[in-house]
């Protein structure tokens, strides 16, 4: 039985502890290697000194002779060697972990990546942008930054980051030039599988820790670069003659460098063993998940076949490739014939496994890029092979429901936008509660089809607005405008008093387009803007957050979407602009989370039900799902379910262990589905709560999507 999202997260955490253990086991081996070299140098020096003394001193002295040999065990030397080695290795690991703290963009820049211009007109870059957008919507994760390794013509890619809020997707120029859309989609699906399997965070920690084992090798490179070199001179000038002293100094430096390289090779060897032990099997898991995600194995298998046939293969020529070798789609350094130190399984083995997945016994050979491009434009959205072009229709929405006037700052269940007609595959009246969380962190084919339909249905000005910081902020403002005319006019007056004329023009542009969009599209639309919003300056970010807070407070209440949006902005943007402590696992029982569970489940119960009695019944179902009937979790009145209380509750629950998050999300689903169904507005709220708990949920789509498209 395949592992679910929460089990895979726990497995990733176990692998993280395994990395630390292997690292601690490697340290004594590195110390021993350094000591062996050190004692060899010490013994050789002592022998040379003894010989010199016997020839030039003792011949004129009656003192006893000097011993030519020393003991292999020198405790004082060992202590110095151990201390210095641990200092170098530990310091190198701490330095790299701090360097990687900002997220995946650091890795992309270290390897020479260039951020993709989202206003590009190049077809191959547009194809990549569209594929990543669809993958983000389908997986329920924020849109990442995209980087391209311009001078790398091997077929490779990677994803890096600590969380979905700071991740970056990077592909080589070779991928853009040589892969078809289906093949590129297979590669990106593989990388997104690493995100959802917990591998991305694991790989960042691995990269930081193992860097310490490579530090001695890097030190050897630095030492050997310190040789006495000829100084710069004018063209036609006389070459400088190097003295014998300089030659001796060079020789001594080279000897030291070679010795350090030997020691460093030992550390690098153990570093490669650690990377290989952790990453090889994860590649098979990512391949399997990518096949489920992208519908069929041909795209991924053909991409791997092109890697095998390409003259450049998947080699990354950056001098920093060794540090990141375990995060690549395929082996990024020279093919390692020693399986123990190889970070990736053999290509033939990966291809064979993919070809036999999902009942496929044969995958056709990949077509050349030119032949594929002749039959289909590379920058169009996702297309089913058997389906014709789809219409650009919009999506359905529920009628706006009235709500009682609440107290200031309370949580209400108001909808915001009317909707229009819908594509058949995306229309649904509700979702079975039992299936609500079945796809947490496990997107499949129907989610990708939904994402492609959604992206195709978005008006082009709205779609382009998600890629530019200034237009993205205006789009967020428009999404926050109230459906009540008097409140909306007050919000617009507030914005126009604070914004520039260009920003006001953007507001007017998006007003007409957003009016036709429904509630289901708003959360995915917000997720698409995050990559653009992260490019704001700190003053722009501060003004943006102040404006969104003012818009939310304009009607003295917080609706479902406003609550979700506010939390998502804080979670995915604030770490970019301010130092924010990362949540750690602190809670292992619900007894420590009774206050948080009471506040959030009470708010959900009252947001999803029409009467207080129905809300209490839904709340009791949630408590029963937590298996805590009669515990400290209490039903709270609506007046006590303030925005701040819900914020604090989600912050506490974000620090819960994965099994507790699984149970709590199931309780949330039972709460909002007390009638056995989850309505679209409640589904999007559930997705927002799961996002706050770092459990991305793909869009709620009927299983009949694949049959009706």
pLDDT, residue 7, reads 75
In this prediction, residues 419-433 reach a mean pLDDT of 44
Query: What pLDDT does residue 381 have?
Result: 40
Q: Span 526-555, mean pLDDT?
A: 92
How far is the C-alpha of 396 from the C-alpha of 380, rounded, in Å? Answer: 24
In this model, does residue 106 exceed pLDDT 70?
Answer: yes
> Is pLDDT of 413 > 70?
no
Report the interhelical angle of 658-672 vs 680-692 (nearest 10°). 160
Q: Of 527 and 401, which is predicted with more confidence?
A: 527
1 pLDDT higher than 90: no
- Does position 234 have pLDDT exceeding 80, yes or no? no
Backbone phi and psi for residue 689, each to the nearest 5 degrees, phi listed first: -65, -45
**pLDDT, tens digit, 9 for 90 and up, residues 318-357:** 888 888 999 999 998 876 666 777 889 899 999 998 888 7
Q: What is the pLDDT of residues 593-604, one digit of tens each?
A: 888 899 888 888
pLDDT at 431: 60
Q: Give the global pTM.
A: 0.83
* pLDDT confidence tier of residue 393, bands split at 50, 70 and 90: very low
Query: Which range among 64-73, 279-288, 493-502, 522-531 shows the weakest confidence by mean pLDDT?
Result: 64-73
pLDDT tens-digit series, residues 450-475: 899 889 888 888 999 999 999 999 99
Q: Is 330 exposed, middle or buried (0-12, 13-18, 19+ CB in 10 A)?
A: buried
How far is it, in rounded angstroms, from Cα 315 to Cα 149?
12
Annotated catalytic residues are 191
**Residue ranges of domains in the chain:** 590-692
> What does the pLDDT read at residue 230?
43
Backbone angles phi, psi at 690, to 5 degrees: -60, -40
CB 282 within 8 A of CB 158: no
- The per-residue pLDDT of the chain, averaged, comes to 79
Q: What is the CA radius of gyration of the chain?
A: 30
Express as a percent the part of the chain with pLDDT over 90. Answer: 26
């Amino acid at each position: 039985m395949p592992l679910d999202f929460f089990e895979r997260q726990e497995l990733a955490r176990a692998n993280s502890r395994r990395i630390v253990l292997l690292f601690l086991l490697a340290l004594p081996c590195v110390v021993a290697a350094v000591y062996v070299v050190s004692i060899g140098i010490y013994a050789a020096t002592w022998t040379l000194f003894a010989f010199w003394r016997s020839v030039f001193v003792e011949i004129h002295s009656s003192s006893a002779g000097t011993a030519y040999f020393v003991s292999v065990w020198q405790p004082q030397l060992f202590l110095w060697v151990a201390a210095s080695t641990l200092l170098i290795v530990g310091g190198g690991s701490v330095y790299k972990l701090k360097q990687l703290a900002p997220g995946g963009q650091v890795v992309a820049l270290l390897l020479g990546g260039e951020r993709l211009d989202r206003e590009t007109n190049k077809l191959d870059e547009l194809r990549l942008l569209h594929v990543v957008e669809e993958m983000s919507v389908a997986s329920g994760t924020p849109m990442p930054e995209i980087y391209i390794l311009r001078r790398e013509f091997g077929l490779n890619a990677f994803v890096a980051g600590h969380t979905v809020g700071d991740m970056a997707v990077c592909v080589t120029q070779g991928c853009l030039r040589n892969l078809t859309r289906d093949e590129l989609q297979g590669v990106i699906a593989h990388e997104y599988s690493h995100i959802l399997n917990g591998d991305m965070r694991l790989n960042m920690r691995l990269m930081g820790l193992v860097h310490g084992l490579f530090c001695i090798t890097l030190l050897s490179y630095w030492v050997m670069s310190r040789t006495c070199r000829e100084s710069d001179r004018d063209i036609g000038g006389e070459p400088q003659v190097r003295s014998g002293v300089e030659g001796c100094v060079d020789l001594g430096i080279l000897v030291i460098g070679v010795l350090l390289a030997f020691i460093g090779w030992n550390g690098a060897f153990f570093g490669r063993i650690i990377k290989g032990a952790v990453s090889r099997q994860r590649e098979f898991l990512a391949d399997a998940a990518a096949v489920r995600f992208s519908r069929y194995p041909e795209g991924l298998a053909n991409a791997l076949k092109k890697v095998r046939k390409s003259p450049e293969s998947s080699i990354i020529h950056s001098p920093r490739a060794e540090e990141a070798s375990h995060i690549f789609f395929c082996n990024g350094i020279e093919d390692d014939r020693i399986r123990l130190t190889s970070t990736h399984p053999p290509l033939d083995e990966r291809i064979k496994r993919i070809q036999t997945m999902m009942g496929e016994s044969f995958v056709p050979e990949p077509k050349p890029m030119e032949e594929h491009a002749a039959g289909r434009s590379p920058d169009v959205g996702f297309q089913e092979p058997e389906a014709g072009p789809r219409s650009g229709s919009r999506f359905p929405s529920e009628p706006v429901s009235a709500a009682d006037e609440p107290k200031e700052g309370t949580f209400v269940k108001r909808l915001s936008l009317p909707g229009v007609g819908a594509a058949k595959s995306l229309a649904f009246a509700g979702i079975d509660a039992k299936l609500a969380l079945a796809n947490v962190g496990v997107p499949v084919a129907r989610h990708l089809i939904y994402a492609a339909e959604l992206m195709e249905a978005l008006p082009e000005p709205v779609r382009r607005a998600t890629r530019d910081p200034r237009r993205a902020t205006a789009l967020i403002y428009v999404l926050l405008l109230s459906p009540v005319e008097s409140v909306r006019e007050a919000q617009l007056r507030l914005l126009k008093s604070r914004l520039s004329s260009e920003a006001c023009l953007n507001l007017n542009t998006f007003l007409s387009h957003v009016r036709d969009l429904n509630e289901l599209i708003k959360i995915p639309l917000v997720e698409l803007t995050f990559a653009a919003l992260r490019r704001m300056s700190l003053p722009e970010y501060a003004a943006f957050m102040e404006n969104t807070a003012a818009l939310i407070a304009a009607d003295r209440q917080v609706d479902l979407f406003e609550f979700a949006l506010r939390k998502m902005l804080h979670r995915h943007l604030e770490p970019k602009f301010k130092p924010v402590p990362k949540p750690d696992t602190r809670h292992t029982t619900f007894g420590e989370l009774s206050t948080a569970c009471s506040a959030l489940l009470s708010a959900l119960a009252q947001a999803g039900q029409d009467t207080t009695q129905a809300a209490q019944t839904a709340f009791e179902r949630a408590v029963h799902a937590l298996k805590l009937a009669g515990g400290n979790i209490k039903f709270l009145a609506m007046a006590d379910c303030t925005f701040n209380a819900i914020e604090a509750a989600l912050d506490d629950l974000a620090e819960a262990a994965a099994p507790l998050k699984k149970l709590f999300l199931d309780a949330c689903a039972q709460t909002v589905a007390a009638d056995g169904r989850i309505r679209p507005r409640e589904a999007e709220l559930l997705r927002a709560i799961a996002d706050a708990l770092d459990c991305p949920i793909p869009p709620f789509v009927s299983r009949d999507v694949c049959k009706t498209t």
